[in-house]
Chain A
Amino acid sequence: MAINPDYLGREYPAPEAYEVTRGKIREFAEAVNDPHPFYVDPAAARDAGYPDVIAPPTFPVILGMAGSAQAIADPGLGVDFSRVVHGDQGFHYSRPLHAGDLLSSVTRITGIKALGGNELLTLETVADDADGEHVVTATMMLVVRGGEE
């Protein structure tokens, strides 16, 4: 089984905008054991110049994972999810996410290549706010491990 190279460049728009909420930010910050006040205390975040609590730097992986799940679920792409390992991850920010953001995102397949019996699939998720301004781009490289067959 191999990834279909014709899918390079294919786009998967998120079916609906993602609303960033105080509750989800708090849940995520607690899950990474990070008690920074800007994540949970709106007054502290506002004192620092933010409109509301902000999200931890890796929070947008939620959008990236949803986008990659859409791509992997596409039967034409040919990815066996049970063989997928996370290879690398990057984020490029125009600004931090904050509670109240309504983010529209599109995930694009930006790389498909073979390497030493494995296949590497790169997915780029671009998230814009309700005004159409760029907020963050999350880039995820997945390693699809080669089979023994």
Chain B
Amino acid sequence: MSRLRHADVEVGTKLPERTFPVRRLDLVRYAGASGDFNPIHWNERFAKSVGLPDVIAHGMFTMAEAARVLTDWTGDPGCVVDYSVRFSAPVVVPDDDEGAEVTVGGKVRAKNGDGTVDVLLTARSGGAKVLAQSKATVRLAR
């Protein structure tokens, strides 16, 4: 697997945009793997009782999908130095086979002297911005 080099990147370089499916099955599997069994992520009756439109995705599932745009771009998932997001809107996941979609993009906003770059990520689902202030610092190959 080839690794992105620091010299290959400029401020403004765009990361390839990707769209990820989010289905009920994904949320069940993520609940098991992460240990987050909050019923708003799998129980429609409970989700509606607390005022949500339907079951919503784990914010951390969306954060993990957004990370793939970053780590597939660099080629090395061990490159991440800092990664932070704000969950600005829920990803609502209907009970059908298609589920929801999250579209993630990003661009380089700074090139640092220590071999790292700062990246801004965006994530949208159903017309809503689901991640805000989503940023990462990654170390690239020399």
Contacts and interface: CB of A to CB of B under 8 A. Distances in A.
Contact of B59 (A27, A31, A89, A96): A89
A66 B85 CA distance: 20
Contacts, number: 101
Nearest to B20: A33
Given A28-B34, A56-B67, A88 B60 contact: no
Nearest to A45: B78
B83 A91 contact: yes
Interface residues of A, number: 35
- Taking chain B's interface residues, is the majority helix, strand, or loop, or is none over half, making it mixed? helix
Contacts of A33: 20, 26, 65, 68
Interface residues of B, number: 35
B60 A89 contact: yes
B85 A88 contact: yes
Contacts of A139: 84
B35 interface: yes
Interface of A: 27-28, 30-34, 36-39, 44, 48, 50, 54, 56-58, 61-62, 65-66, 82, 85-93, 95-96, 139
Interface of B: 1, 20, 26, 29-30, 32-36, 50, 58-61, 63-65, 67-68, 70-72, 76-78, 80-87, 133
